[in-house]
Amino acid sequence: MMGEVASFPAKVVDAELATAHAAAAAVCDPEVPVLTIADLGVLRDVTRTENGIEVTITPTYSGCPAMDMIAMQVDLALEKAGIARRKVTLSLSPAWTTDWMSEAGKEKLRAYGIAPPVGKAKGRAALFGVDEVACPHCGSAETERVSEFGSTACKAHWRCLTCREPFDYFKCI
Amino acid sequence: METPLFTYTLRLADNALVLGHRLSEWCGHGPMLEEDLALANMALDLIGQARNLYSHAGAIEGQGRSEDDLAYLRDCPDWRNILLVERPRGDFAFTILRQFLYAAFMHPYFERLSASKDETLAAIAAKSVKEMAYHLRHAGEWVIRLGDGTEESAARLKEALEDLWPFTGEMFEVDGVERALIDAGIAVDPAAIRPVWDATIDHVFGEALLARPRDGWMQTGGRRGEHSEHLGHLLADLQFMQRTYPGATW
């Protein structure tokens, strides 16, 4: 199939790559449907290989059950976009970090009622370190952690002491 | 014929899966909703780590065995986990103390393994170390709360410690399989983990008003495939579907 690719004018090939990128980038996280995998930093790369288009994704947590679903949705999105020769690859390195989340993504999270990760992920979370997390509903800084672990692997459970609402906090790792 | 790298990777994977399974047994039985979620979350992290490690082990072996083949189709003597992780889950104090002892070891271990010359092991470790930091913090907080809590919680924690302590020595064992890999910069030397582990244990036990037991006789054997009867019961549960309906998929 190399000959076929090589026979395309360069701009047509690039257009297919751009289409593939746009289609993959628009896939939403099944657990946090306001975020695309591009917002999350789960989408790592879209490249052309000799076998067609290759999309590389990375899991947020080792056991994230959404990964199989995301891989399937990316494959489907590319098919719908008319990309016949495609492959979705899972990559573990470099390890995903919340630092890859876009600012737009963080804003979308907040509007959805999930507090976005605070600050930058440091090399090592200190024992008994305390985060300060603003309430995504009323903006108050008077909040407290209910549990390190929440409804999904990537979130912790917090509550606001001002408006009394519970909320999820997207953990900073 | 098992190569040292296969055995080593399998040991890491089996530790993660067996402990993950023990934690998953709490699902729906946690002492409170938040803790039920926390235990399930930690189980998920460990099972995820195990999946990555089994896939790598299968690739190293090169016989076409998948992560599922390794998890579901091996019997007790082929399992390489330490005995600590296969102990029955016990009460909440037992479960959380075991998690603390394990995470206090695996957190610095993965930190070092992320510099392994085996790129896949390094990648898996760099990912897992972030998860172990959470497990360590969470379990450590609970150890303090239970130890410095009520008479009942302190007594249960103390009893759990007496049960578990003889199983901690196996984490630090090195045999011929691992020595060569350590020298080659692939595996981590557990001797380097000892001072970090000691410091974490002493700090948290100090806060928890828990006396550290003397190091006496230490149990051993799991890493060579010599297991307690508890692993067999665990596998009967874990492997039931594949043993009853071989090749079943859904």
CB contacts < 8 Å between A and B, how many? Answer: 87
User: What average pLDDT does this structure show over A43-64?
Assistant: 92
Question: Domains (ranges, CATH) in chain A?
Answer: 2-96 (3.30.300.130), 99-170 (no CATH)
Q: Work out whether the CA dihedral B164, B166, B167, B168 comes out positive or negative.
A: positive
Q: SS3 of A160, please?
A: strand
- pLDDT of B118-137, one tens digit each? 999 999 999 999 999 999 99
The domains of chain B, with CATH numbers, are 4-244 (1.20.1260.10)
Report pLDDT for A82. Answer: 94
Spatial distance between the Cα atoms of B199 and A78, rounded to a whole number of angstroms: 51
**Residue linked to tokens 């930058």:** A120
Amino acid of residue B107: H
Joined together, the tokens standing for residue A17 give: 């790559």
pLDDT at B190 over 80: yes
B130/A173 CB distance under 8 A: yes
Q: Does the N-terminal peptide bond of residue B166 adopt cis geometry, omega within 30 degrees of 0?
A: no
Question: In which band, very low, low, confident or very high, does the pLDDT at A123 lie, cut at 50, 70 and 90?
Answer: very low
Structure confidence at residue A11 (pLDDT): 58
Q: Spell out which residues of chain B touch residue A94, defining contact as CB-CB under 8 Å.
A: 123, 126
pLDDT at B90 over 60: yes
B37 vs A173: CB contact, 8 Å cut-off? no
Query: How many angstroms separate the Cα of A143 from the Cα of each of A107, A140, A167, A169?
Result: 19, 7, 10, 11
Q: Given pLDDT bands bounded at 50, 70 and 90, which one contains residue A120?
A: confident
Residues of B in contact with A125 (CB under 8 A): 130, 133-134, 137
Alpha-carbon dihedral of residues A152, A128, B12, A154, nearest 10 degrees? Answer: 20
* Residue B22 at interface with chain A, using a CB cutoff of 8 Å: no
Q: Is the pTM of this model over 0.80?
A: yes
Phi-psi region of A119 (alpha: psi -120 to 50; beta: other; left: phi over 0): left
Q: How does DSSP assign A16-78, residue by residue?
A: HHHHHHHHHHTPBPSSSTTSBHHHHT-EEEEEEETTEEEEEE--SSTT-THHHHHHHHHHHHH
Query: Nearest to residue B94, comparing CAs of B177, B29, B162?
Result: B162
Rounded-to-integer distance, Cα B56 and Cα B61, Å: 9
pLDDT digits (tens, 9 = 90+) for B137-149: 999 999 999 999 9
Say whether pLDDT at A4 is over 80.
Answer: no
> Residues of B57-74 as b/e, b for ≥16 C-beta within 10 angstroms?
bbebbeeebebeebbbeb
Write the pLDDT tens digit of every residue in B15-42.
999 999 999 999 999 999 999 999 999 9
pLDDT mean across residues, chain A: 86
Round to whole Å and give the CA distance between B159 and B93.
9
pLDDT tens for A135-171 read 999 999 999 999 888 888 889 999 999 999 999 999 8
d(CA B57, CA B10): 6
CA distance B232 to A46: 45
Q: How would DSSP label each residue in A109-137?
A: HHHHTEEPPPSPPPSSPPTT-------TT
The 3-state DSSP class for residue B139 equals helix
When the pLDDT of each residue in chain B is averaged and rounded to a whole number, the result is: 96
Rounded to 10 degrees, what is the CA torsion of B122, B123, B125, B129? 130
Mean pLDDT, residues B151-163:
98
Distance between B164 CA and the closest CA of chain A, angstroms = 23
Contact A63 B47 (CB under 8 A): yes
